[in-house]
Each structure stands twice: as C-alpha cells, then as structure tokens.
Chains A and B, each alone.
Chain A
Amino acid sequence: MDFNLNDEQKMMRQVAAEIADEQLAPKAEEMEENREIPGELLAFLAEQGYFGMFLPERYGGAELDFATYALTIEEFSRGSPAVALVVSVQNALVGKPILTYGTEGQKEKYLARVASGELLGAFSITEEDAGSDAANVQTTAAKKDGGYVLNGRKLYVTNAGFAGLFLVVASTDPAAGGKGLSCFLVERDAPGFTVGERFDGMGMRALDVRRLEFKNCEVPADALLGAEGEGLKIALASLDGSRIGVGAQAVGIGQQAFNEAKKYAGEREQFGRPILSFQAIQFYLVEMATRLEAARFLTLRAATLADAGEPFSAEAAMAKLYASEAANFCANLGVQIHGGYGYMKDYVVERFFRDARVTEIYEGTSEVQKLVIAGKLLKG
C-alpha cells in the first residue's frame, strides 16, 4: 500500500489548503454566528468544481477519485468543518448515488446542475424511530397512477434548508422491512413536501439541518432511483463513501486543533518559558499527532480501496470510527493546552471542541460503525 500522492492529488490538496486558510477560516466564526454559509462562498466552491468531484466531465464534473475527495474534505475542515460537510454531502450522498444508480434520463436531468452547484442536494433516511436502526424507516411510498405517493417524516437532514433535490428513502413494501425500502429523487417543490424546523446543534451551526414532512407527496415514476427494494442498499453504499468524507473531516478538525495548540504553546509563556518547552505539553502534542497520522492513514486506505474498486465498507467504518475519536481527543487537548483562553469563543479551539463532537454521531454513530465492521470482519 502506497500513500505517495500523485502530482494531481498533491496539487488538489494544496489548492484546498489555500481555500481553507484564505476563504473558509477567516469567515468561519461569522458563518457559525449567523448560522449561514454565504451564497457567494457556495458559488465560489461551485465555480471551482467542488460540487461535482466524482462526476464525469460530460456533466461538467471533475472526475476525481476518493483520495482527492478525502484530501479536499480534510483541508476544508481545517477552515470550516460545516462547509466541508456541505461539500461532502453533495458529492458522496447526492452526485455519487445518482451517477451510480441513476437512469440515463435521471443523470441527464440532474447531474450537470449538481456538478455546477446550481442544484444542491440532501440525503434523507433518518427518522424518529429509524436512527441507528436505519432499516426501520416508516415513511411510505405507495404506488398511484403510475407514480408514488410519499407519506411520513424525516429528521436530521443536512443541507435541507437550501437543497433543491432530496434523496429520500421510503418504504414501497412495508411488509418486507428493510428489503422493502426504495430511494426517491424528490424535488423541493414537489406537492405535499415541506421542509420543516431547523436543528439547533451544539456545533457546526452554519449547517442547515432540518426536518422533512411528506403529506400525500406525489412524485412521478421516474423519481425512483435504482429499483424498488434497493433503497437500503443504495443508502448504505452511499454512506460507505461519505464515511471516508467524515473520517477526513475529523482528521481536518483534529489537525487544526493541533496546529492552533502548537502555535499557542510556542507563544504562551508561563514560569518564564514557553509552555511548549514543558514535557507534558510536548507529549500532549505528540499523542495528538500520532493519532492524526493513524486516522489519516485509515482514511486514505479506505479511499484507495474504493478507488481500486475493492470492497471498502469495513475500512471506511474504521476510518470514521477512529478519526472521529481522534478529532475529539485532539479538540479536547487543544482546549486544554490553551487553558482559560481555550474556553473562550475568541479562540478557534473552542469551536472545534463543539464541532468535533458530532463526528462521532452523524452518518452512523461509532456504535453503528462497529456493527458494520463486526459484520464484515466476523462473518463466517
């Protein structure tokens, strides 16, 4: 296994790092405070091709690999984890599944607009009683007049505030449980579809996460993505990919906490010398760096497997599991090294401490990652 990046990957990483430092980091605090990612910033990212990373050139996509996606999300997360997640969702949970499972007609209809950022998307499976138990989706999609009628409620839908297109998992055969789930492409203006209340989270407050409600929401037959009964498969496969993104995001959060802590420790003097000269602080930073290196390797390993067309769901779950723990470890010590200043909103580590926490929860909790890994590892 070789993590020597090729020239394109190196260049893309460099470009993403510059965007993070110059465009995202300076605006991050304001975005969190206003709970909004400015339209100009989204337009800039769209123009730079970040909303069609996996998509072929003929749709205006950049046709990049998972490794480049991971490197990009990691770098963006150093600047703004919220912005990085918007990019990750659009690529891994919207563009990728449509490209993989869509009909020619669906691809023609949506992908160029997804790649250009004209159409931002959201992915929705979670419900009140279908959290970790994702197969327990109660939203139904009944056949009617050659189309489907959706009824039910969803929650924790990232990007829902501004998304124009929603990938929605609903049951076409309630008696069949998880095997009766199907995936639908629902446009924002579909009749009977309402985007509801916004989630008020501890961190990543710039994210627009909302509830959805479907009340006799009629969609045409060609809104079905893949075949009936394939919904859970599509969701789980898409989440495998997006977990590489969350792993990378967690690495970026941890890395920036490390960067800030190292800088502060070099500048802050107590007892007549920089606190960086104390062994306890050095060892904190060493433990942070070691975990980050391991987390980055796990993430790139999963990405490399995905790029080689090999199975990678256990590796993606390991990456997300480990990296999200590492992010919280680093964010905690990042605050600790800053002392009282780290508890104040004027310092970036305060925000990363709150942001990091959700990486162990969304797109499958750590416990779900362990279920995925156990399922692959202990089979037979």
Chain B
Amino acid sequence: MLDYIEYEDFRAEVKAKVDEIVAPHAAAIDADDHIPDEVMKAIGEVGWFGALAPAEYGGLGWDTVRYAIMVEEVSRASGSAGVMLAVQGSLVTYPLQKYGTEEQIKEYMPKFASGEVMGSFGLTEPGAGSDAGNTKTTAVLDGDEWVINGQKCFITNTKRDWPVVCFATVRTDPDKSKGVYGVSSIIVPVDAPGFNYGRKENKMGLRGSDTSEIFFEDCRVPQKNLLGEVNEGFKIFMVALDAGRISIGAMALGLGQGAFDLAVKHAENRVQFGKPIGTKQAIQWKIAEMATKVRAARFLVYSAAALKDAGLPYTKEAAMAKYYASQVGREAAYDAIQVHGALGYDKSYPLERIYRDVKLDEIGEGTSEIQKIVISRNILQLKKKK
C-alpha cells in the first residue's frame, strides 16, 4: 500500500469528473444556498450517492478508500456537495446495509444510491450534542406503528426541495437512566404524518447543504421501520459515526488540498518586489508546512479507511483522522488566505468559501473535543477507584 499509488488512476478519473460536473457550480452553490438539480442529476448519474451501496441495489460497491477519495475530490471543489456525499454514504447507506432488513434495503437502498432520495441522520438535539445519551425524542409503539415525539436540530441533508428520509435516534426505553442504551434508530420519511421541518439553519459555510430543525409531532411510521433491534440505537449510531469520521476527514482533506492548490498557484504567479512571492522563504515555508500536514492527514484518512475495509477495529484511527484532517484543513485554508493577502478574503475568489466550509469539519459528527475523548479512551487504561 505504498503511498496509495494504486488509487491514482481512480483518483484521476474522479477528479476529471468533479471538474466537469461539480467545480463549475461551486461558487453558485454557496452564493445561492442551493445545489441545483443539474448537479444532483449529474452526481446521480455517476453513482456517487451509492458509492458504498452494493451493486445489486444500484450502488457502486466501492471500498472505503475509494469512497474517501471521491468525497475528498468532490470537497476539493465544493464542501457543500462533499458533505452531502459524506452523509449519504457513511451515515445512511452504510448503516442501512449493515443493520437494515432485506425489505428495508430493497425499499430504500436503490433510491439512496440513485440520489432520488436524500438520507439524513437525525441524532443531535438541542440538549444532546456531544452528550448523545441525553436524547429526549421518544418513540412508543401504538399497535403496529411507532409514534415519535421530539425535536432534532442541525440535521444535514434535509434538502428542502427533495425527498428525504431521516434515520432518527429516538428513546424507546422510558427509563432515562438507561442513557444511550435506551435509544433506537427509526427510518422516518419526510412525508410521514407529523414530520415537520423547523427552520433551515443560516450557517457560516456549507451553505448549499441544507441543515434543519425537525419536529416530530405524533409522527407515525410503521413498526417495520425500526432499524436494527429495539434499544440498539447507540450501537448503530456509533458504527455510523465511526464511518462518518472517515468521510468528514476526507472532506476536510479535500478542502485543505483545494486551498493548498490555490496557494501554490498564487505563490508561483503573484509578483511583488520584482519576483514571484514564492521566491520568499516566508512563503516557501508556509507551502512546505501545508504540504506536509496535508500529506499526513491524507495518510490518516486512508489508513482508517483501509482498516475498516480490512474488517479491523478503526474507531480510534477514524477519530484521529477526523480530528487531525479537520485541523489541517482549517490551517491550510487559513495559511492559503495569508499567502493571497486581501484576495483570499474576497468573496469573488474561492478561498474564503473554503475557510468557512472547513470550519464545520471540526464541529460536525463529533467535535474535535469528542474525537480526543474517543482517542484517549482507546489508549489510557485507567484503574477505576475501588
């Protein structure tokens, strides 16, 4: 697996496609707060919504390394499109394949894979951010239907002009002391009675990707919409989030790479004091530091993906990948702006968008602080007090 060279042809193909179908729309996606149908359709045609879905259900059946490279390359052009594919892959099609019944997979997977339906992952609540055990949304069985009540917030992929299905984490055991061991995952389509959107969040970045509040008011779905077993929700969202950390890492990597590419071009072409600014040591060192950090982040992301593909434990490594790549992505965007001076701050140039977009990667799907908790818990063997 020397330097992941065997994936370079694959990357080149994806990159060429991204440059054709995503990159030309990236600025408008941000400015208009919307991913146009044309882009959705084009992504659907190349199959990336179903990158992780098996071929028999309309997916591409890619391994996680290929999937990560795709998310990276899409994000290099557009963070908004990148996060959409990160969620659709890791948080939706992956847990569906792993925990769904055959009936559920047959019903939903082809629609997710084609992009006909966007999948969203309804975990966070106003009082349950880093503390997912504090989930207050409830689901109770009434005959053969689940009745869901509660509120979710910051839910990505709630594309307002598109059919959406939400995998909602809900409390199914009324005993609150059970914490995360009393929650389940339920598949809730947007047209279920009692599924209501609250406001669409007004975000700093990733503005083409809709993020919404969801209110469940006596929302009814069939009993068979339970994903996995009752009270298995914690296991399911942890598995999804482990995978999600790889894709958010890949997204940050792509954004960082995009910023770095712009910095290199500018350092070569911008002349001050009679020479390209790249002849100055201050700029050379910035480029060197960015390149080194981006390369290290890439190895962390691909390595976590490769561990997952090999069926080995990867929780700690995925957390490291997300924590490090998101930091590197932000720092690369920050330094790239510095190399550009005022141009980097100009909304008619893509860098400031990258800087706004990449900040989310240190927050969404578990903040950097949560990643450090995950990493340290997987390292430190602390003796419990007797």
Contacts and interface: CB of A to CB of B under 8 A. Distances in A.
B359 A353 contact: yes
B364 interface: yes
A6 interface: no
Contacts of A280: 369, 372
Contact of A361 (B282, B341, B347, B369): B341
A165 to B, nearest CB: 23
A345 B130 contact: no
Contacts of B337: 357, 361
B273 A339 contact: no
| Chain A interface bracket (under 10, 10 to 19, 20 to 34, 35 or more) | 35 or more
Contacts of B124: 340
Given A132-B272, A361-B341, A367-B282, A336 B347 contact: no
A307 interface: no
List the 8 shortest-distance A-B pairs measured between CB atoms, nearest first: A202-B352, A270-B131, A133-B272, A200-B347, A345-B202, A340-B154, A133-B273, A271-B131
Contacts of A332: 330, 359
Interface in A157-207: 199-203
B204 A132 contact: no
Interface of A: 126, 129, 131-133, 136, 156, 199-203, 269-272, 280-281, 328, 332, 335-336, 339-340, 342-346, 350, 353-354, 357-358, 360-362, 365-367, 370
A350 B205 CA distance: 10
Interface of B: 124, 127, 129-131, 133-134, 153-154, 201-205, 271-273, 277, 280, 282, 330, 334, 337-338, 341-342, 344-348, 352, 355-356, 359-360, 362-364, 367-369, 372
B146 to A, nearest CB: 26
Nearest to B333: A357
A343 B129 contact: no
Contacts of A360: 338
Given A270-B130, A365-B338, A344 B344 contact: no
Contacts of A339: 129-130, 363, 367
Contacts, number: 106
A354 B360 CA distance: 13
Contacts of B205: 343
Contact of B344 (A133, A272, A361): A361
Find the residue from A156, A336, A343, A358 having the highest chain B CB count within 10 A: A343
Contact of B203 (A272, A344, A361, A370): A344
A271 B124 CA distance: 14
Nearest to B337: A357
Given A126-B342, A340-B364, A367-B280, 7 more contacts: A199-B342, A271-B130, A280-B369, A339-B363, A340-B124, A361-B341, A361-B345
A136 B363 contact: no
B355 A357 contact: yes
A354 B334 contact: no
Nearest to A368: B341
B131 A343 contact: no
A336 B345 contact: no
A328 B345 CA distance: 14
B345 A202 contact: yes
Contacts of A358: 342, 345
Contacts of A201: 345-347, 352
Contacts of B131: 270-272
A199 B345 CA distance: 10
A335 B330 CA distance: 13
Contact of B342 (A131, A343, A345, A370): A131
Contacts of A131: 272, 341-342
Nearest to B133: A271
A203 B203 CA distance: 14
B264 to A, nearest CB: 17
Nearest to A360: B338
Contacts of B369: 280-281, 336
